[in-house]
Structure 1
């Protein structure tokens, strides 16, 4: 699998989420330290409210961006199945602006550290104007996918 990844079929191989609850469209770059994802906000997205992507949508996009990075690394480094991540905590979440339908947002995931399967990451979301619209520190617990 090579970067960038833009197809839903390839995304579905890397994350445990299923349609219609997939909140990532692309994996643009990925390393164990940092990943960059994108999401085109479609009008039929179940987390769109009044033509804007909701706060819950932004937080879910952050979590799925972490999952996509983890899934890609698992595939590349170990040729294994994607790990399942459980959110342990969301700290310092800031949502400055809700993006509109048909816009594309990008997230940058910076992994701060990982100890005993718990990964601490900072996720920053920008809009098409490169404005920071949301940011949070998210701890996830990664477990091997069974089945």
Structure 2
């Protein structure tokens, strides 16, 4: 099932992931399919990873990871089931080319490369204004 329209309700999106305020790094669900997702985040001053006009590297990586978690959370929401907690198994090949600034809209696209027995390998690309600022691969594991 694909997402008919983007979801901009921050509370709804936040309820689809296990992280809670102030550690939520996704605020919109822009597209969803069984094998991909695009999530967004507006860089605001009160974000815990914002400092001196810049959204820092750990926040960018956490945003990437939470986009993966959002895919799982929305998938379970569609099935009307409680989503399990997931963990980052590994991060590889991450390249950060630029850091977002105050007011920037970050968009992260995740493509599922492989999924088996609760382990998911994904390719991630993060952009601001259509320009790729970060990319990499991540492996996540669902808690049993």
Question: Is the pair's TM-score, using the shorter chain for normalization, greater than 0.5?
Answer: yes
User: How many residues align structurally?
Assistant: 142
Asked if the contact 2:14/2:26 (under 8 Å) is kept, the reply is no
Deviations 1:48-78 (A, max 9, x none): 12211111011000000011111001111x2
Deviations 1:17-71 (A, max 9, x none): 1001100010011112110111101111000122111110110000000111110
Partner of 2:80: 79
Please report how far the alpha carbon of residue 83 of structure 1 lies from its aligned counterpart in structure 2 after TM superposition: 2.3
The two structures have a TM-score, normalised by structure 1, of: 0.92
Partner of 1:36: 38
Partner of 1:101: 102
- Structure 2: give runs of 5+ residues left out of the alignment: none
State whether structure 2 residue 130 is matched by structure 1 residue 134: no
The aligned runs of 1:100-119 (5 Å cut-off) are 100-119=101-120
Tell me the SS of whatever aligns to 1:14: coil
Please report how far the alpha carbon of residue 117 of structure 1 lies from its aligned counterpart in structure 2 after TM superposition: 0.6
Partner of 1:25: 27
Q: Moved runs in structure 1, 4+ residues, more than 3 A? A: none
Please report how far the alpha carbon of residue 12 of structure 1 lies from its aligned counterpart in structure 2 after TM superposition: 2.4
The two structures have a TM-score, normalised by structure 2, of: 0.94
